[in-house]
Amino acid sequence: MPPGSLTVVGTGYRVAGHVTLEARAHMEQADKLLYLVGDPVSETWIRDLNGTAESLEDCYAKGKPREVSYREMVERVLGYVRQGLDVTAAFYGHPGIFADPTHTAIRLARKQGYRAVLLPGISAEDCLFADLDLDPADRGWQSYEATDFLNRRPRFDPRCGLVLWQIGVIGEGSIAQTANREGLRELVRALLRHYSRDHRVVVYEASSYPVCDPVVERLPLRRLSEEDVSVMATLYVPPQRRRRPRSRA
C-alpha cells in the first residue's frame, strides 16, 4: 500500500458542537486538511484546528455545473493523497449524505491502492427528527431528493412520512442564491395528486448555531409555492391521517 491516506469526516450542522471526537482528532492530526462548510464561523473554527486547512469552496462558481465542481474537489483532495500525505476532508453535515465528491474520492482512493475511510456525522435528517419530534419507526419513512422525486415520480405511500430534500433548488444544475419558484410550483402540483390542498406540511431548515432556532414553518400544501423558501430548505409531508375502521353491522 503506497504512503498517503484519505479520511472523510462530517462536521455536523451545529458549529463545533456536532463534530464527533473521532472526526475532530483526524482533523487536528491530518498532514493536510481540506473542508467544505456553509458558514464563516465553522470555517474559522476549522482553520484554528489545523494550520494546513484549505477550503474547497472556490471549486464552485455561478453558472458552473455542479459535476465540474465535484470533479475539481475530488482531484484536489486526491492530489494531496498522491503526495503521500494523510489527508482529512471535512464536509458539513454527514459526509456521505448528499455529498457526491466524498463517495467518488473514497472509491478512487481505494482503487488506486490508498487507505480511505468515511466516518459518520450528524446529518440534517438527524436534526429534523429531533427538532420536529419525529420517530421514523412510528408510521414509516420515505426520503427523496426533490428534483429526483419529480423526474422519476416514484411510488410512495402517503400514509407514511415523506421528506423531500433541496426543495429550494429544484432543477438547478449550478449554485443558486434564491429558490426556484417554478420548481416549487411543479412540486406542489405533483403532491396535490396524493394530498389535499389543506394538508399541513413543514418547511424545515436545521440551525447552524446554538443560539438560533431551526426554521419550522407549518402551512397548507397549497401555499408552499408562495413561501419565501431558502435554498437550504427541506420539506416534511406528514402522513395522511389513518382512517377509522368501519364499524361492523
Query: Is 66 a known active-site residue?
Result: yes
Tell me which residue of 75, 76, 84 sits closest to 2, measured CA to CA: 84
Going by DSSP bridges, is the β-strand pair 5-10/115-118 parallel, antiparallel, or unpaired?
A: parallel
Q: Can you state the angle between helices 66-82 and 100-111, rounded to 10 degrees?
A: 40
| Of 68, 67, 70, 40, residue with least CA distance to 56 | 70
Is position 92 annotated as part of the catalytic site?
Answer: yes
DSSP string of 4-45, one letter each residue: -EEEEEE-BSSTTTS--HHHHHHHHH-SEEEEE-SSHHHHHH
The single residue of 66, 71, 82, 115 carrying the catalytic annotation is 66
Cell numbers found for residue 229? 423558501
Instruction: List the catalytic residue out of 13, 35, 70, 80.
Output: 70
Q: Can 195 be counted among the known catalytic residues?
A: no
Chain centroid to CA 217 = 19
* Secondary structure string (H, E, C) spanning 164-210: EECHHHCCCCCCCCCCCHHHHHHHHHHHCCCCCCCCEEEEEECCCCC
Residue 158 CB neighbours (<10 A): 16
Cα distance between residue 100 and residue 116, in whole Å: 15
Residue 121 Cα distances to 72, 80, 92, 94, 214, angstroms: 23, 23, 8, 4, 19
13, 80, 92, 204: which one is catalytic? 92
| Residues with a known catalytic role | 66, 70, 92
